[in-house]
């Protein structure tokens, strides 16, 4: 099977995912206004979306083991698209909460399934894909938001937009998912995995020394905490960068929008460039550079009173944060003694938790100590990325694509 078809198919899935989420995100104020929800009530309703996503992570992993990632991807893409209809028709808060739980479940399950498919394609092609696909997801969300702005100005009701978007998303998923690559059903025999190959060294070989291996659960935890730290920074700066300029530096709304725009743009650009970097550099080295760049950028943004310099700092932070989550997913998919779908589900749960937990924590710190102090706490998460990833990336191998370490029975990557 040529890899071009499956790669295009999984790219369509990531695009559909980003487009559906971006459509709802841009219309959230209109949905809340129709139901006359306060900020607190809307926040409580959005928690049901998080609950649905977390519940779907492990369900998706089980369905992948039983039915394969192509069918599971199609199932959750259709669930995500269909959930836009009850979101548009909700006339009571409880109906909105139920629809958001379904929408979150579709998003969470699709995230695990399509990322598992991307990891499978990376192993079979020998080329990195996950970072570029996440960049495509972000770009699709931004495009959906821009389309929503145009439709809102034209007076298009959000119910009409949701119905059309759901139909287009479902049709694209039905067309793309049959072209996804079937999963490898052959599993290595039970027993201890041989582990990573020893690094070459100069001089005469010495006596072999047994090396203790960390259990898969510990490596998964380290990788998941890496995704958590990256998501803490991404979620906090997504929600608070614009407000920091407007309320702390006393700029106008345009400067606040520029701060968020700079962060979001470099976040997407970094992910589009990430796969090329992954093909040339070891994951731990990349994460070290990303952590340093994001830390320096955020520190620069918080230490200067000049809005232009602050915006530049947020842009650098977006570039540094961009590769943390993709590298965590890619590393998880190659950890020994576990399956990709199980590892990705566990890492996704921790990463999603960081994205949801960080903004309210920053808000609470801002209430007590000021927003600058609240955002400064994010620096701790960025610094923690490096020590967390050292063990996990070493166990996964030098590069986060190609045959998995400890699974010699999997096919070798095709030459390119």
Residue 205 banded pLDDT, cuts 50, 70, 90: very low
Distance CA 77, CA 74 (A): 5
My answer on whether 62 and 172 are in the same domain is yes
Q: How much is the average pLDDT of 228-250?
A: 84
286 within a domain of the structure (yes/no)? yes
- Least confident piece of the model among 70-74, 282-286, 317-321: 282-286
- Least confident piece of the model among 7-21, 85-99, 199-213: 199-213
Q: pLDDT per residue over 13-61, tens digit each?
A: 999 998 998 888 778 778 888 888 876 677 778 788 888 988 898 899 8
**180, 9 contact by CB (below 8 A):** yes
Q: pLDDT: is 204 or 166 the higher one? A: 166
Predicted confidence at residue 216, as pLDDT, reads 65
Q: Find the farthest-apart pair of alpha carbons in the chain and give their distance in angstroms, rounded.
A: 76
Residue 178 neighbours by CB distance under 10 Å: 11
My answer on whether 225 and 168 are in the same domain is no
Instruction: Give this prediction's pTM.
Output: 0.73
257 within a domain of the structure (yes/no)? yes
Residue 360 banded pLDDT, cuts 50, 70, 90: confident
Q: Look at the alpha carbons of 93, 97, 103, 104 in this order and tell me if their dihedral is positive or negative.
A: positive
187 within a domain of the structure (yes/no)? no
Distance CA 405, CA 395 (A): 8
202 within a domain of the structure (yes/no)? no
My answer on whether 245 and 139 are in the same domain is no
414 within a domain of the structure (yes/no)? no
Residue 140 banded pLDDT, cuts 50, 70, 90: confident
My answer on whether 167 and 265 are in the same domain is no
My answer on whether 103 and 226 are in the same domain is no
pLDDT at 98 over 60: yes
270 within a domain of the structure (yes/no)? yes
Distance CA 382, CA 302 (A): 15
My answer on whether 153 and 220 are in the same domain is no
198 within a domain of the structure (yes/no)? no
Residue 397 banded pLDDT, cuts 50, 70, 90: low
What residues contact 192, with CB distance under 8 A and at least 6 apart?
Answer: none
Closest CA to 121 of 15, 16, 3: 3
Q: How much is the average pLDDT of 171-197?
A: 67
My answer on whether 250 and 161 are in the same domain is no
Distance CA 169, CA 13 (A): 9
My answer on whether 292 and 371 are in the same domain is yes
My answer on whether 272 and 348 are in the same domain is yes
pLDDT at 294 over 90: yes
Q: How much is the average pLDDT of 249-268?
A: 82
Q: Which domain holds residue 61?
A: 4-179
Predicted confidence at residue 338, as pLDDT, reads 80
- Least confident piece of the model among 4-18, 119-133, 200-214, 272-286: 200-214
pLDDT at 330 over 70: yes
My answer on whether 174 and 269 are in the same domain is no
pLDDT at 70 over 60: yes
pLDDT at 166 over 90: yes
195 within a domain of the structure (yes/no)? no
Which tokens is 113 given? 């399934």
My answer on whether 142 and 234 are in the same domain is no
Residue 2 banded pLDDT, cuts 50, 70, 90: low
Query: How much of the chain exceeds pLDDT 90, in percent?
Result: 28
Predicted confidence at residue 327, as pLDDT, reads 86
Q: How much is the average pLDDT of 242-266?
A: 82
My answer on whether 295 and 150 are in the same domain is no
Q: What is the CATH number of the domain that holds 50?
A: 1.20.1250.20
Distance CA 72, CA 62 (A): 10
Integer angstrom CA distances of residue 175 from 10, 120, 130, 400: 11, 20, 21, 29
Predicted confidence at residue 394, as pLDDT, reads 66
Distance CA 89, CA 334 (A): 42
Predicted confidence at residue 40, as pLDDT, reads 67
- The residue from 120, 151, 179 where one domain ends is 179
Domain count, the chain: 2
The most confident of the ranges 188-197, 230-239, 252-261 is 230-239
Place of tokens 């309320």: 247
Query: How much of the chain exceeds pLDDT 70, in percent?
Result: 85
Residue 169 banded pLDDT, cuts 50, 70, 90: very high
Predicted confidence at residue 82, as pLDDT, reads 96
Predicted confidence at residue 258, as pLDDT, reads 81
Distance CA 66, CA 193 (A): 23
- Least confident piece of the model among 50-64, 195-209, 322-336: 195-209
- The residue from 128, 162, 179 where one domain ends is 179
């Amino acid at each position: 099977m040529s890899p071009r078809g499956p790669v295009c198919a999984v790219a369509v899935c990531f695009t559909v995912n980003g487009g559906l989420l971006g459509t709802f995100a841009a219309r959230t104020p209109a949905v809340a206004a129709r139901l006359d929800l306060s900020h607190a009530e809307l926040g409580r309703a959005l928690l049901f979306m998080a609950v649905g996503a977390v519940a779907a992570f492990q369900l998706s992993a089980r369905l992948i083991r039983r039915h394969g990632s192509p069918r599971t991807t199609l199932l959750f893409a259709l669930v995500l698209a269909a959930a836009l209809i009850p979101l548009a028709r909700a006339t009571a808060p409880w109906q909105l909460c139920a629809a958001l739980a379904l929408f979150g479940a579709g998003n969470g399950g699709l995230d695990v399934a399509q990322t598992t498919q991307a990891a499978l394609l990376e192993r079979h092609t020998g080329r990195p894909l996950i970072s570029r696909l996440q960049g495509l997801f972000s770009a699709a969300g931004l495009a959906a938001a821009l389309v929503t702005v145009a439709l809102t100005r034209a007076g298009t009701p959000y119910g009409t937009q949701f119905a059309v978007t759901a139909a287009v998303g479902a049709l694209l998923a039905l067309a793309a998912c049959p072209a996804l690559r079937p999963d490898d059903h052959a599993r290595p025999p039970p027993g201890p995995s041989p582990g990573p190959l020893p690094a070459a060294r100069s001089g005469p070989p010495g006596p072999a020394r047994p090396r203790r291996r960390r259990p898969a659960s510990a490596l998964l935890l380290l990788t998941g905490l890496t995704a958590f730290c990256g998501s803490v920074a991404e979620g906090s700066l997504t929600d608070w960068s614009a407000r920091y300029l407007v309320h702390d530096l006393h700029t106008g709304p345009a400067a606040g929008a520029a701060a968020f725009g700079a962060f979001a743009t470099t976040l997407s650009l970094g992910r589009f460039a990430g796969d090329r970097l992954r093909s040339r550099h070891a994951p731990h080295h990349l994460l070290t550079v990303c952590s340093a760049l994001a830390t320096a950028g955020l520190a620069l943004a918080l230490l200067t009173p000049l809005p232009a310099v602050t915006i530049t700092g947020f842009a650098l932070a977006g570039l540094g944060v961009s590769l943390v989550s993709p590298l965590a997913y890619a590393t998880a998919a190659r950890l020994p003694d576990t399956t990709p779908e199980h590892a990705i589900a566990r890492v996704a749960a921790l990463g999603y938790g960081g994205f949801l937990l960080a903004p309210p924590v920053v808000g609470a710190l801002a209430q007590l100590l000021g927003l600058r102090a609240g955002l400064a706490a994010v620096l701790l998460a960025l610094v923690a990325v490096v020590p967390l990833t050292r063990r996990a990336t070493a166990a996964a191998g030098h590069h986060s694509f190609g045959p998995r370490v400890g699974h010699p029975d999997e096919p070798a990557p095709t030459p390119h």
